[in-house]
Amino acid sequence: MSEAQMFDEVRQRRALRLLERSPNFLRTSEGLAFIAQLRSAVAPGVLSTARRAGLSASWLDVNDVVHTALVELTRDRGRAARYAAASVGEPWAYVSRCLTGWMRDQWGTRAEPLQEETLIALRDERTHHAACDGGLDCGACVPPPMEAVIERMFLALAPALPTELRPPLKSLLRWCALNPPQRRSYEHADRAAAVTAFPMLPSQLVVLITQLSWGTRPRNAETSLMGAFLSDPTFRVSDSPLHTQSVLRWTAQVRGLCHASERLPAAATAHLRC
């Protein structure tokens, strides 16, 4: 059978089982044919869904889809590949459903059509912003539940900072709340945007704060301190060993930045501002 031909169900299941056993399967001729099948038989349906949701090719292309499929199918010792191989019906259909969900996690809520009440709320918000001279320091620019999350994050992180850096910390936390990453592959650009928006803070410090707020790969949801506060109004940092370690590491890193600014000549540390 030619590699260009559509895999039948038997070949689909066999390929998925081989992928489950080892990602090195992808280096074989059959593995390359498997990748080609993802590109020709699975990715187009996901791309069609993305286009209907308003995502252009600059946001999402076939390479993004195939890469995500390979990453997720091989994650956790190939668990998804194992489930797909054992699925009822055509494995490609199972992979396609999973892949659509994985891609939605990356392209975020901006791709979802907005309801009329949401559009009205956004128009009201824009009206407020036009009249507001408080900028990122205006609590009314952030929904009340999120403002409470920002305050709790501020209380957790502020003690590590010099007094003069605490006001911009709260502004940066608001910025992170209003600008969550919409696509994992754009995380670097999102952090660069935060650094640009807050020149009064050390760039290293801004990156650390965005990592605490949004979480870090590969477990963004689990490692997001902002997400933990948002999902549970009673959450305390001490409740989670993971977040406790993150805040302790944050404190040590801030101290390291400040000590570096004290040891080095002023001209070499102007960007640190600690």
Sequence spans of domains, the chain? 9-111, 134-268
Please tell me which residue, 8 or 217, carries the higher pLDDT value.
8
> Can you tell me the mean pLDDT for 214-233?
77
Residue 191 backbone dihedrals phi, psi, to 5 degrees: -70, -35
- Tell me, what amino acid is at 154? F
Task: Give the number of other Cβ atoms within 10 Å of residue 203's Cβ.
Answer: 16
HEC profile for the chain? CCCCCCCCHHHHHHHHHHHHHCHHHHHCHHHHHHHHHHHHHHHHHHHHHHHHCCCCCCCCCHHHHHHHHHHHHHHHHHHHHHHHHCCCCCHHHHHHHHHHHHHHHHHCHHHCCCCHHHHHHHHHHHHHHHHCCCHHHCHHHCCHHHHHHHHHHHHHHHHHCCHHHHHHHHHHHHHHHHCCCCCHHHHHHHHHHHHHHCCCCCHHHHHHHHHHHHCCCCCHHHHCHHHHHHHCCCCCHHHCHHHHHHHHHHHHHHHHHHHHHHHCCHHHCCCCCC
Residue 67's nearest CA partner among 93, 29, 30, 106 is 106
pLDDT at 85: 92
pLDDT in tens, 80-135: 999 999 988 899 999 998 888 888 776 654 444 444 444 444 445 444 444 444 44
- Residue 66: name the closest of 90, 93, 18, 34 by CA: 34
pLDDT digits over 23-32, tens only?
999 999 999 9
- In contact, 202 and 272? CB cutoff 8 Å: yes
- Identify the pLDDT of residue 199: 84
- Percent of the residues in the chain that have a pLDDT greater than 70, as a whole number: 74
Cα 89 from Cα 82, distance rounded (Å):
14
Across the chain, mean pLDDT equals: 75
Q: Are 141 and 126 in contact (CB under 8 A)?
A: no
pLDDT digits 0-9 by tens, 33-77:
999 999 999 999 888 888 877 777 777 788 888 988 998 999 888
Query: Highest-confidence range of 126-140, 157-171, 218-232, 259-273, by mean pLDDT?
Result: 157-171
pTM: 0.45
Confidence at residue 106, expressed as pLDDT on a 0 to 100 scale: 67
Q: Say how far apart CA 138 and CA 180 lie, in whole Å.
A: 18
